[in-house]
Structure 1
Amino acid sequence: MIGIVEARSMLEATIQIEQKRILLFVTHLSLNPFLHHKQMKKILNEISKSPIPKLVMGDWNMKPHSKGWNEITNNLHDAWEIAGKGDGNTYPSIRPKRRLDYIFTSSSISVFAAEIIHIEPGASDHLPLRIVFSV
């Protein structure tokens, strides 16, 4: 039997808001535990390379307070834990039962609000997550 491994990637962009630079990372981690762990290590390595404030977001395919969540929150803050209300479930988009999507921030970013967007649940199998923040 041949297994199928989905290719995964991470987008990195630097944006500037009123003379302040922010590094953005967007990713989608594997469901495979071995690959998920390797991807987490790579992400943690990449985000440690710069002192610039960071937002790291995407489909993490992990539960809150899981081993992977604990690894990332040793370095970054879970925006939902700071400012979200309710369970934060984003998957599936129709009657969500799981929290798989996250926005993590560096300590130099203040999060004032976090919400799940329910406007067009058929647009994806996940609901979008939005935060309001300042640097």
Structure 2
Amino acid sequence: MKIIRLIFFIVHVGISFLLVGTLLNAYVPPKTFPWFNLLSLGFPVFMIVYLLLTLFWIISWKKRAFVFLLFGLLFFKPVIRWINYMPQKNEIPDLKIISLNAKGGFYGKGNIESYINSQKSDIVLLQEYGINKKYQFNGMKEGSQGHIITVFSKHRFIEQKQLIESDYEYNNAYASQTDIEIKGKIYRFINVYLQPFKFQKSMVKLNGNSEEDEQKLKDVVKRLIPTFKMHQEQISAVRKSIDESPYPVILAGDFNSVPNSYEYYHLLEGLQDAFVEAGRGSATSFHDYKFPIRIDYIFSSLSVKPLSYKVDRSVKLSDHFPVIATFKSEK
């Protein structure tokens, strides 16, 4: 039994170091050391193992349980970026937003239109909407289109600008800023689609053959690391739009990045995560893999209070679930 406890202790300490590595993404950019960003992908697994081992020490009546419990408090905020249970707010919202990666409309353009129309939102931000798709949403006008992203609004467009342009060979990212007047107040909406990893299920599915699986893992890492570095470049243009905005900002879209990543920390700076402030349940939004993945977000300026946040799992309009948030502008 002592040997088993020693092994568990070594594993627990090792997991603790890996979790700390995910926190360092707030400070270390991918171009300097991309491996911390790689660790962020495994955060849910690391945290589950950490909690199970802590429970083992509690059941074993070991003093080290208190040390691991206290140390685990460092990860409370990172955990609620994945799973959260905020009490329901009873205030009346001023604004309702939907963000959806539509996967080119391959699940049915009509299904997307029917769903969006039923939600009666103020703003709809689409990623991968399908360049040949012409959506019709009740009472909404479409802003200027990018090849990847587009914005619909029930309210008046003031100004629109592309922040990231795709060149289709090296860069497949897109981002835009759209200033919209709503009830006499102007907001800046930033729609983001960062560089995708372009994985197919066959590329990440292990089949039990050690040599093939090892090669698959190497190929995955070779694709992840350069993409992390591209994200670092891409978010600089988005940050500039946020930092220079004279209006409250709402940032949404498919970041192709998980919570606790470099991208998450640096896009969130000066803003608030609507899920952390008002979400309930799991924030996992990409459902094509069994592994929990949250890559769709809605952030807002501190002056725009999130009242609710929902990942709508009742529909399958693409390989992403729609993300819906409501807000109240503070006077």
Instruction: Please identify runs of 4+ aligned residues in structure 1 that moved more than 4 A.
Output: 93-96
Of 107, 112, 117 in structure 1, the residue corresponding to residue 307 of structure 2 is 112
1:11 aligned partner, one-letter code:
S
The 1:100/1:27 distance shift into structure 2, 3 A limit, reads same
Of 173, 180, 187 in structure 2, the residue corresponding to residue 15 of structure 1 is 180
Aligned counterparts of 1:130 and 1:95: Cα–Cα separation in 2: 22
Correspondence for 2:256:
61
Residue 5 of structure 1, CA deviation? 3.0
In 2, are the aligned partners of 1:89 and 1:96 still within 8 Å (CA)?
Answer: no
Residue 93 of structure 1, CA deviation? 5.4
Residue 96 of structure 1, CA deviation? 7.1
1:41 aligned partner, one-letter code:
S
SS at match of 1:64: coil
Find out whether 1:128 has 2:322 as its counterpart.
Answer: yes
Larger % of helix: which?
Answer: 2
In 2, are the aligned partners of 1:24 and 1:55 still within 8 Å (CA)?
Answer: yes
Task: Give unpaired runs (5+ residues) of structure 2.
Answer: 1-168, 198-226
Aligned counterparts of 2:172 and 2:271: Cα–Cα separation in 1: 25
Q: How does 1:28-39 map to 2 (within 5 A)?
A: 28-30=193-195, 31=197, 32-39=227-234
Correspondence for 2:29:
none
In 2, are the aligned partners of 1:29 and 1:59 still within 8 Å (CA)?
Answer: yes
Larger % of strand: which?
Answer: 1
Give the stretch that moved more between structures: 69-78 or 108-117: 69-78
Residue 102 of structure 1, CA deviation? 0.4
1:84 aligned partner, one-letter code:
G
Residue 67 of structure 1, CA deviation? 2.0
Residue 28 of structure 1, CA deviation? 0.7
1:130 aligned partner, one-letter code:
I
Aligned counterparts of 2:241 and 2:288: Cα–Cα separation in 1: 30
Deviations 1:80-133 (A, max 9, x none): 111111220000258672110001111110000000112421x21111111010
Aligned residues: 131
Give the stretch that moved more between structures: 45-54 or 103-112: 45-54
Aligned counterparts of 1:7 and 1:64: Cα–Cα separation in 2: 21
Give the stretch that moved more between structures: 85-94 or 49-58: 85-94
The 1:84/1:95 distance shift into structure 2, 3 A limit, reads farther
Correspondence for 1:77:
272
TM-score, reference length from structure 1: 0.88
In 2, are the aligned partners of 1:90 and 1:96 still within 8 Å (CA)?
Answer: no
Find out whether 1:45 has 2:240 as its counterpart.
Answer: yes
SS at match of 1:5: coil
SS at match of 1:86: strand
In 2, are the aligned partners of 1:93 and 1:127 still within 8 Å (CA)?
Answer: no
Task: Give unpaired runs (5+ residues) of structure 1.
Answer: none
TM-score, reference length from structure 2: 0.38
Residue 13 of structure 1, CA deviation? 1.2
SS at match of 2:292: coil
Correspondence for 2:217:
none
Larger Rg: 2
Aligned counterparts of 2:228 and 2:296: Cα–Cα separation in 1: 17
In 1, are the aligned partners of 2:177 and 2:241 still within 8 Å (CA)?
Answer: no
User: Over the residues paired in the alignment, what is the CA RMSD in angstroms?
Assistant: 1.7
